[in-house]
Amino acid sequence: MWRSYNVIVKSIENASSFEWIRTGRQPFPPVYSPNSGVPLACVIPLQFERYAKILHRLDAVEDRVDHSLSKKERAILHIPDCVSIKNLVASRPIGSRIFWKEAAQALGVPYSQEITHAWFSRALELNPLCWPRFIAGPADGALDFDECRELASILVKSTSEHTCSFRLPEIPYLGTDQRLLFEGPLEDVPEFFANYQFGPEYWWPQDHQWCVCSDYDLTFTIVGGPSQLITTLLKSQVLECIEISPMIRVDDAAPPPRGSYEASV
């Protein structure tokens, strides 16, 4: 049993509790193809009423290039002005949140269910350094602490079970602690993982009425569950959620709706 900041979480020795997810997922394609991509079924079992995507947090950051170089120096070094992103963050305090919907509007990117961070990169193809100059995030495979806490709070209020199991990711080429499976109160999950680079890859209750997936390659978290849970998530003022179809792709190469945006810098 682990105790941290009055949080009590215990390690699960029996790996069978994860089998319903392992066997319920569709196998990844043996050879990746950008034309077919990775469907949602590869990361979460398709057994729920509805699904939602929680878009990981974006924050405005200080642009040190503008502060350290003159306009003439930036011109000599061919450093772009990044007008669209600069305008997006200009009136915001450093560290304030930027919603994906706002970034999408500023960059001419469609705000639709298959949106990925890669769509912003494509819009900035000629100036790829514009994004990190002005925006931090989204994080791969991890919700922000406040987002994680909000999700846990919604799950506590929306479901009958207040204890859940959760599993750490197995990341290729990185040493992974053999203790992957844990169990504890839902409200303790955010605090327990506050100091982890990656939070739990999966959360689920014993009755399997919902499942949360934060794959380490994704800049969003997937939630599958009963209709009322998804409705509550979509109404959250802390989480930026968008409802998704079980047939969508979740890989970065998922194409935006045809003819729906033009590159903007």
**Tokens linked to 27:** 């196998």
Q: Which residues of the chain have pLDDT under 70?
A: 1-14, 64-71, 73-80, 126, 172-178, 195-198, 258-265
The pairing of beta strand 163-167 with beta strand 181-185: antiparallel
CA distance 120 to 85: 11
Mean pLDDT of the chain: 84
CA distance 222 to 204: 12
Residue 204: which of 228, 176, 183, 219 has the closest Cα? 183
Summarize pLDDT for 26-37 with one digit per residue, the tens: 998 877 777 788
User: What is the H or E stretch that residue 4 is in?
Assistant: strand 2-4
Express as a percent the part of the chain with pLDDT over 90. Answer: 45
Summarize pLDDT for 209-257 with one digit per residue, the tens: 999 999 988 999 999 999 999 999 999 999 999 999 999 999 988 988 8
pTM of the complete model beyond 0.75 = yes
Q: What is the CA radius of gyration of the chain?
A: 20
